[in-house]
Amino acid sequence: MKESLPESEVMSCPVCEQWINPDVPACPHCGCILWHDEPRTSERWLTHQRFIAIAIWGCSLLYIATLILSGSSIGGVGMMNFLAPNTFALVLFGATGAIPVFELGRWWTVLSAAWLHGSLLHIVFNMLWVRDLGAGVGQVYGASRLVVIYTCAAITGAFLSSLAGVYLLDAPALFHGAQLSVGASGAIFGLFGALVSYGQKMRNRNLRRKALSYAVVLFVFGVIMPNVDNWGHLGGFLGGYLLTQLPGFHPEDSWGKWGEGIAIACLLLTLASVVVSVLDILVWRS
């Protein structure tokens, strides 16, 4: 007879979703290797749960700030535009795209835009994915690499979208990129890419198929829906996948004491990109 563990002492395997002891090196059901922060999680400042909280709270606070700044010009027509900040508020806090990056020279917005959102439905949908995918990626890659993957995918997604917005401006609406873009979806697709990469490296067909199928479904959904940044999705997925193919991103590799420092640097650069965006509009260009 198996001994059951209290709920506080178990977690769901990110691959097979069976309940397991969080201290085991690999899932006894599917063999998924689990990352354990070094030193013990209780002695570290950064955990994947804490980063998920930072991402959700950071995006939420910035969303509220853009709504306050929008004042009476908040959008409210249709579900997709319900409680939508105005364009000036989004640009002020760091919206990206062809216009900010290439016309205004605000190149740092490829980082800040992932923390901004264009409507209530937009942020709720994205934060649910951040919560679920962040936990899975954090369990197999560790908190530090989760932050790096998220940050790099946000950058590659925003950059590819901005680039397409310049060179494919005359293409059909589906392919012409974004003149102005916000949202964490590029970073989210990067997490999908990281899970596909993990499944490939560990020869885990179930995880690879599951992550890839979700990404494809969401990408098709973005193609069908209007005003969706499909180039940002593609760029984020490629960024997360290609980054985790590099040395040092195998689940059994350790980043040691440098990992947390690199991750914190990514968070500080993100904060700096938002601050610089505000100063650029209100001080340097005034």
Q: For 182-230, what is each residue's pLDDT tens digit?
A: 999 999 999 999 999 998 888 778 888 888 898 999 888 887 887 788 9
Cα-trace Rg, the chain? 19
The answer to whether residues 108 and 162 touch, using CB atoms and an 8 Å cutoff, is no
Mean pLDDT lowest among 7-11, 108-112, 195-199, 243-247: 7-11
Strands in 100-189 per DSSP E: none
The answer to whether residues 76 and 151 touch, using CB atoms and an 8 Å cutoff, is no
pLDDT at 6 over 50: no
Beta-bridge mates of residue 19? 12
- Look at residue 42 in the predicted model and tell me its pLDDT: 42
Distance CA 166, CA 147 (A): 29
The answer to whether residues 232 and 160 touch, using CB atoms and an 8 Å cutoff, is yes
Reading the block at residue 236, the tokens are: 């984020």
pTM above 0.75, yes or no: yes
pLDDT at 270 over 80: yes
Instruction: Determine the straight-line distance between the first and last CA of the chain, rounded to whole angstroms.
Output: 72
Helix 185-201 to helix 120-141 angle (10° resolution) is 30
- 103 vs 258, more confident: 103
Three-state secondary structure call for residue 251: coil
